[in-house]
Amino acid sequence: MHPLSDFFRESDKRYLAQAELKLLGRYTLSLPHRLAIYRQIRDQELALLQPVADGLEKSLVGTSVTAIEQSLKLGIAVLRTSAMAMLTNDISSLDDTLRWVRQSQANNDSQQTDELCFQLMTQQLEQRLEAAHFKLLLPYLEPFQKLAATAA
């Protein structure tokens, strides 16, 4: 369930409490920043991911191009899903992509390549986004980093 929907589920029964209004207010105030981050990622997707591809090729000598491309395709899905989850403040929307990544790693034994791919992608985001914006996005990238750490 989307966290915002939780606020409105009982709208015919009661008004929001002070603490809930505060939470909603905080999200509303953060929305311009969230939109800016989302827009930046969308507009700079290629510029952001090409160094990741180059870094993977440089670090993983001997790994097939197909395997690296497979990790990059996952990276693209992770980046897009995380950006949307950040925009809507909905961490649960990552669940399907987390399952997708886990399944891919089980099928292709690609934990190491994926871990490096996600790490390089996070580095790129940290370099390109304002520090406060990166901090806002990080919680939506972390589940994928933790996944890699758990698998390793």
Partner 1 sequence: MISVADLLTPKVAAGNYFATNTYVRSDAELGLLENRSGSRLIAIPDTLIKALYAGLEQETGLAARLVLINCGRWWGKNFYQRFSEELTGHYGVPLASLPMVDFLQSLQQCWVSHGWGQIDFDPSYAERGLFLVKTWNSPFAAQAPQMDRPVCFMDAGILSAFFSGLTGKSLDCLQLTCESLGADCNRFVVGLEDRLEPVEARVEAQEDWEAIMQSLVES
Q: Which residues would be at the binding site for partner 1 (CB under 8 A)?
A: 45-46, 49-50, 52-54, 56-57, 65, 68-70, 72-73, 76-77, 80, 93, 95-97, 99-100, 103-104, 106-108
Nearer to partner 1, 72 or 129 (CB): 72
Least separation, in Å, of the C-beta of 107 and partner 1? Answer: 6
Least separation, in Å, of the C-beta of 46 and partner 1? Answer: 6
Least separation, in Å, of the C-beta of 100 and partner 1? Answer: 5
Least separation, in Å, of the C-beta of 22 and partner 1? Answer: 29
Note whether 152 and 110 are within 8 A (CB). no
Note whether 7 and 20 are within 8 A (CB). yes
DSSP codes of every residue in 77-107: HHHHHHHHHHHHT-GGGGHHHHHHHHHHHHH
Furthest C-alpha separation in the chain? 62
> Looking at this protein, which amino acid is placed at residue 51?
P
The burial of 92, by beta-carbon neighbours within 10 Å (0-12 exposed, 13-18 middle, 19 or more buried), is given as: exposed
Least separation, in Å, of the C-beta of 146 and partner 1? Answer: 20
Nearer to partner 1, 50 or 123 (CB): 50
Nearer to partner 1, 16 or 76 (CB): 76
Nearer to partner 1, 32 or 62 (CB): 62
All residues at 6 or more sequence positions from 147 whose CB lies less than 8 Å from its CB, including other chains:
98, 101, 102
Nearer to partner 1, 104 or 111 (CB): 104
Which phi and psi angles does 11 have, rounded to 5°?
-65, -20
